[in-house]
């Protein structure tokens, strides 16, 4: 599988990372090096093997669906790049 400029641009878009047009060729080349390395996995016979979902056999813990914390609006917002009137502020998303 070889990654071309267009695929590199599509992946960058999916990952929401801006990549300049001038860097796309280098990026595609790096992807190809890494994917070339990963291709080795095709040598392994995985017939009938279950994909791992959890490395330790323990069951995922459950708890009651109850509020256990809250009323910390100021602290929640304290690291926001732009917080106004108790909300996170972002550029306009609807016209």
Interface residue list for other proteins (CB under 8 A): 1, 3, 8, 11-12, 14-19, 27, 30-31, 33-35, 37-44, 46, 49-56, 58, 60-61, 63, 72, 75-76, 78-82, 88, 90-93
CB of 4 to other proteins, least distance (A): 13
Q: If you search the block for the tokens 């095709």, which residue do you land on?
A: 42
- First-to-last C-alpha distance (Å) of the chain: 41
Q: At what angle do helices 5-14 and 24-38 cross, to 10 degrees?
A: 90
What residues does 87 pair with on adjacent strands? 84
Q: Where are the beta strands (DSSP E) in the chain?
A: 83-84, 87-88
Q: If you search the block for the tokens 């609006």, which residue do you land on?
A: 73
Would you say 17 or 67 has its CB closer to other proteins? Answer: 17
CB of 27 to other proteins, least distance (A): 7
CB of 26 to other proteins, least distance (A): 10
CB of 66 to other proteins, least distance (A): 13
């Amino acid at each position: 599988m070889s990654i071309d400029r267009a695929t590199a641009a599509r992946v960058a878009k999916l990952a929401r990372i801006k990549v300049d047009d001038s860097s796309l060729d280098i990026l595609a080349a790096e992807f190809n090096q890494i994917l070339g390395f990963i291709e080795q996995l095709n040598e392994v016979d995985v017939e009938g093997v279950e994909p791992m979902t959890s490395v330790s056999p323990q069951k995922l813990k459950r708890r009651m669906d109850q509020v256990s914390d809250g009323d910390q609006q100021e602290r929640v917002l304290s690291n926001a790049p732009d917080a106004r009137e108790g909300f996170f502020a972002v550029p306009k998303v609807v016209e």
